[in-house]
Every structure is written in C-alpha cells, then in structure tokens.
A and B are shown apart, each in its own frame.
Chain A
Amino acid sequence: MNNHIALGVIGISHKTASVEIREQVALDEVEQKFAIQKIINGFEANGILILSTCNRTEFYISIETPSEKLSLIRTWLDEYKKCTYYSNTEISYEKYGLEAARHFFNVVCGIDSQIVGELQITGQVKDSYNFAHNLEATDAMINKLYNFGMQVKKVVRNETFLSDGTVSVSFAGVELARKIFNDLSDQRILMVGAGKTAELAAFHFLENQVKSINVVNRTLSNAQDLANKFSGKAYQLDDLETALKESDIVISATSSTDYVITKDLMSGISRKRNYEPIFLIDLAIPRDIDPGLEQLNNVYLYNLDDLNGIVEKNLEKRRKEIPKASRLVSEVLDEFQKWISTNSMSTIISKLKKHFELLSANELAKLKKQYPENGYQKEIDDYTQSIVNKLVRQHMKILKKNVGDPEKYQQQIELIFKIYEIDLE
C-alpha cells in the first residue's frame, strides 16, 4: 500500500544529526520558497510542505512513485545546500505513504520532539503549512495530511498527559508558585543577586504578570540596572530584611559562599509578615538560603536540585504517555488511510470505466461496420453503456467493502488491474 500512496518525506532531525549539521541543512524562507517551486516544477510533485526548525528540516511531498523520485530530490537538495547530508542515509531519512503520514503525526503531537510533548512544534507546523498554502503549493494530499495532523494533536492533548507538566527549571519555579499562590498577579518578586540566572527566572514570572519585581544586590548600581528592566525597586544587600518583608516570592542566585538568607533572619521576617506564605527559590551553587528555614510555617523553599527533580519527573511522566499517544496516532492514521483509499478509489474506478468503455467502443465499431446506416440501432449503445455501468458498480462494491483493510484492498486493486491489463500507475 505504502508504495502506491503518493506521499513521501525526506528529513534530517535531532534524532539523526548534530546541531551543526541541522544548522547547515536548515532552509530560511527564501530558500524554502525556491525549493518548493523547484520540487513542484522540476520533479513533478503535486504538493509540498517544508518544516524547517532548529530540531528538524523535513520535506513532506505529495508525489507519484515517491520511492523513485525522493532519491532524485535528495541529490538535488545536496547540490542546493552544498552538502552531502541529504544523500547520507545515516543522517537523512526517507519514508513513504502511511509511514510518512505516521511520522508527520508523531511530529505534530510532540512524540518525535527532542523534549517529548513540547507544544512549540504545533505552531511551527501551522506556519509551514500556511507558508506553502499561500504559495499554492499544497494539494489535496498535503491539505488532508495537515488536517489529520491537527486532529491528532487535539486528540493527544485531550486524552494524554504527553504535554503536561513543565520541563524547564525556571518555569518549574513558576508552576510551583502557582500551587502556593494560585493567582500570581498579586505577588511581589524579589531577586537576590543581579546575575543572569535570577534574571532569566524573573522573566518567566514577568510573563505571568506578577505585581512587581524588585532587586537586591551587594552593588546598588547593578541592582538598579536590573530593576529598571522590570520597572521595580532596587535595594542594597543591607536592606535585605526590608526587601524580604515586602516580597512573596524570592529568587536567589548570588555568588556568595555563605547563606544570604538565614533561618534566624527569615523567622523574624515571617513573624513581621503575619506568617503570610513566602516562596523561596534558591538557584545558587553554593546555596544562598539556609535549608533549615524550611521548617518554618508558611515558608516554602526549593533549590536547584529540587527544581531539576521536578523537570525530570515530568519528562518521565511524558515519556510514559508515548504508548498511549502512539495508539491514538494509529487510530487517526487508519482514518487517514480510509480517506486515501476512498480518494484513490475514484481514480481507480474512472480508469476501470475508461477501460470498459474503450472495449465496448471497439466492439461496437465492428458492429457498426457490419450493420451500416439504418441497420444499426442506437439502443445498442445505450444497453452497452448500461452494462458497463453495472460492471463498474460491481467492482466498486467489492472495493468499498475492503476500504478498512489496506492489505486486502491493495490485493484486489492489483488483481483487477492485472485481469484487465490496466497500468497500475
């Protein structure tokens, strides 16, 4: 069946190539436009979708006899990108028919992603499709492939935990904060230290529209520079107590070798804060925050190891969902296959009808010669056409019965074409 579906994929991804190779084979928009036109005009493709991201460059091509033509396209891609990676079967892969569709579905729903279940890929696929569609480079096959892909994404997201739980350390802090405070818009953030680590974490909180982000640092000017980025207040380290009193979430990442926030300091602050909850994130190595203060009520302390542990657990949870997601992919793939069969049936039936009509026309021509002028009755034409239609319908009935069974369906097509000596392609 695979060989007779006019669909193929050529690709290089994080699974087969290093980032250096992926960088070299990636296509920018201008290159994509050129490649789309070249593959459609030069290789007689019916449609194409190019997905070029930092983790993969893939060409989904709707083309007759993909097994023959994809290797030619790979050679051209090597010439175009001045490399040899597309022809290298260890780096580049090629799949046809349903396997190509399955690969696309795995990509769209995140099974094939470097970080399993990541959601960014869906947007990238959408952009790629829109790009190709605007260039009128998508045919019915590519359109359907994309639509079924979006269906897979929806089903997998609704019925599995493949994309659940954060997989970034900084974001794990945000997620935890949400489990303490629920609504982050009322929360005040304090960054202890003006380095890049704390800044990155603070940006994640900023995206979640926190109330304020303030900075405390040994050097006030550095604190001011960073605080300006967040329109927040700057404090010197001597004012740490005041700053802590006015904060709900603290991100600490200094290079200090001693604890910056001690248990004694925190217990005093906690009292002054009426024991309102405070969440402390210690991103420093060595640690900035005394682990002993975790015993205090309404004080929640997480360090880098804790956050890494969360990320690892979430990744493990996502990996466990792969079999379930794959089953859902297979279900949608069956639907896609049925669409292809139904779609290809109309082509087969029209070929069969043409064949029968040619046969009857030849035979009737002989008859017309035997009974010229008034001797030949027009009703004979009508009866013959009726017989042809009945024959075609009978074949159609049998084919329809086996649409759901790809193997049997293909065997029957081959048998029919063999009997009547019709060219399969």
Chain B
Amino acid sequence: MKVFSQFLSYFLPILYLGLIYVYYAIFSGKKKSWTNRTTLFLSLLLIIHALEIAVRHIALKTIPLSTTHDALSFLAFSILFVYMILEFSIKNRGSGLFILFFATILELVSTLNLTWEPETNELLTNPTFAIHASLSIMGYTAMSLSALYAIMYMIQNYNIKKRQLGKLFTQLPALSYLEKMSIRSAFIGIILLGIGILLGHMEAEALIGEFWPKDIKVIATDIIWALYVVGYLLARIMKWHGKKMAYLSMAAYFILIVGGTLAIYLSETFHEFN
C-alpha cells in the first residue's frame, strides 16, 4: 500500500507537467487537434489524483489535509476540479495554461514535502474538522482563481490597449468574462471560507472552550476574510469595474498569501498539526 501510494504521489507532478505541456501545445498552436481532448486529460488526472488522496487516506487513517503535502495537494486537486467544471461549462481553454500552471506549482511543492507518518492527532480524525478544513481549502482555491482571473484580465486588457493581438490575445477569454469569473470566484471563496471559519470557531469552542481563540492564524484568517467581504461589498456598492476590480482582487490575494505565510511561520499554536 505504501509503495503504491508513494508511487502515485511522485507520479502526480509528472502528470501535471504533462497536462501543462498539452495546454501549452494547444496554446501555441502546435497541436490544435488536442483541443477537443482536454476534458479527457483533465478527467484522467482528476481520477488519478483522487486515487492518490484516497490511498493515503486509507493507509494513514487521516483526513487528506493534515500535512503540508496533503494540504497543498488538495489545493491543487480542487483547482483542477474547479477548472474542469469551468472549461466544460464555457468551452474555453484559454485560461487553462495559467490556472493549471498554478496547480502544477502547488503539486510540485506538495511532492517536495511528502511525508509518511500515520496520523496521531485526534483533532485530525474529527469529521467536523474535516469539513472545516475542506471548505477552507476550497475557499482559498476560489480566491486563488479570483486572483488568477484578475491577472488574466490585466494581461488581456494590456493586449487590447497596446494592440498586442497575438496568440495570447487569441487564446485568452474576453475581458467581461474574465472580470465576471474573478468576481464570482471571490464571492464563492468568501462563502466557502466563511462557512469553514465558522465551523473552525465552533470546533475551537467545543475543544478549548473559546469561540475566538487567541491564535495568530485564526485571527489572521478572520481579518483576511473580513477584508474580502468589505472589499467585495465596497466594489458592488461603488460599482467598480475592470482594472480597479482586478487590482482589488490581486491585492486581496497578496494580503491573503503574505498574511497566511507570516501567520504560519511566526506562530506555534494549537493550530499546528505536525
């Protein structure tokens, strides 16, 4: 079981890189005929990744989020999953290279942090915690996608303004679509992360008797989530459009990443699992 699981874990980044090559080949026009096969490639990778998560889960008897490897791998998996739905629903592969590149980086970093230790922390075997963590990861995924769509918006806006009407222009979707997807993803992120945070607080109250524990990660996550909510509402009320919205989404994500990283590395609290 261990050998099979580790084989899958090491094999996954290779498959992700293969998928990136497929999207690059389509993007550059080298393999136009592959365009109609991307759903098949995405589905296969998704199945293999789901298998990897399941095998680790069975072997280590834990939720698939307890280590850096598991968390990043699950984030890559959920990006892949969300992207597949998007591609299938809008039949546009233009953003694939960018979004999947991000997922591939996460998967590579995840593989570099691969460990094999059965879970001993009771908290990580709790189903409420599993839902809290899964929703939080999915919320971060949606926010990551929001920022990625914002970046693509900026690139496409530059292309149109500066008459750079090459391959990048042709492959990227329309500005209004990118803007809509960025806003929608941010909204989904706010909802999912919001529920995840709420469950986390409830879990904290049940475990340590505090609904608002004085944990730097919890505080940072709450503040970042609140910033997203304020930013989103402000944008809706003020009817912000285009570049302004793209900057807002990118800035919020930057705060999320920097804030999250600082919180992880500067603190050692109950939220530490390993």
Contacts and interface: CB of A to CB of B under 8 A. Distances in A.
B33 A300 contact: no
B214 interface: no
A274 B241 CA distance: 8
A228 interface: no
Contacts of A181: 174-176
A167 B242 CA distance: 29
Interface in A233-276: 274-276
Interface centre among B32, B160, B176 (most CB of A within 10 A): B176
Contact of A180 (B33, B174, B241): B174
B247 to A, nearest CB: 11
Interface in A219-233: none
Interface in A272-300: 274-277, 294, 297-298, 300
B160 to A, nearest CB: 6
A22 B29 CA distance: 37
A182 B180 CA distance: 11
A159 B32 contact: yes
Looking at A183, A277, A313, which has the most chain B CB atoms within 10 Å of its CB? A277
Nearest to A155: B33
Contacts of A159: 32-33
A159 B176 CA distance: 29
Contacts of B177: 182
Contact of B174 (A161, A179, A297): A179
A165 interface: yes
Contacts of B160: 176, 179-180, 300
A309 interface: yes
A306 B160 CA distance: 11
Interface string B26-43: 000100110000000000
Given A165-B170, A297-B243, A277 B29 contact: no
B241 A298 contact: yes
A277 B176 contact: yes
Main secondary structure of the interface of B (DSSP, over half): helix
Nearest to A164: B170
B32 A158 contact: yes
Nearest to A187: B176
A198 to B, nearest CB: 22
Given A159-B32, A160-B32, A309-B163, A298 B174 contact: no
B91 interface: no
B34 to A, nearest CB: 10
A275 B163 contact: no
Interface residues of B, number: 21
A391 B160 CA distance: 72
Interface residues of A, number: 25
A50 interface: no
Contacts of A178: 174
B161 A294 contact: yes
Contacts of A276: 241
A310 interface: yes
A161 B29 contact: yes
B178 to A, nearest CB: 9
B251 interface: no
Contacts of A165: 170
A167 to B, nearest CB: 14
Contacts of B176: 180-183, 277
Contact of B175 (A160, A161, A179): A179
A176 B169 CA distance: 10
Given A179-B160, A300-B160, A309-B163, A158 B33 contact: yes
B175 A277 contact: yes
Contact of A274 (B33, B163, B169, B239): B239
B199 to A, nearest CB: 36
Nearest to A310: B165
Interface string A93-107: 000000000000000
A83 B33 CA distance: 47
Interface string B238-262: 0111111000000000000000000
B174 A275 contact: no
A183 B244 CA distance: 22
Nearest to A275: B241
A180 B179 CA distance: 10
Contacts of B241: 274-277, 298
A248 to B, nearest CB: 10
A294 B162 CA distance: 10
Contacts of B32: 158-161
Interface in A149-195: 158-161, 164-165, 176, 178-183
A160 B31 CA distance: 8
B173 interface: yes
B156 interface: yes
A310 B240 CA distance: 31
Interface in B115-173: 156, 160-161, 163, 165, 169-170, 173
29 contacts: A158-B33, A159-B32, A160-B32, A161-B29, A161-B32, A165-B170, A176-B160, A178-B174, A179-B160, A179-B169, A180-B160, A180-B174, A180-B176, A181-B174, A182-B174, A182-B175, A182-B176, A182-B177, A183-B176, A274-B241, A275-B240, A275-B241, A275-B244, A277-B175, A277-B242, A297-B242, A309-B163, A310-B165, A313-B165
Given A161-B32, A297-B243, 20 more contacts: A158-B32, A159-B33, A161-B29, A165-B170, A176-B160, A179-B160, A181-B175, A182-B174, A182-B175, A183-B176, A274-B241, A275-B242, A277-B175, A277-B241, A294-B161, A297-B242, A297-B244, A298-B243, A306-B163, A313-B165
Interface of B: 29, 32-33, 156, 160-161, 163, 165, 169-170, 173-177, 239-244
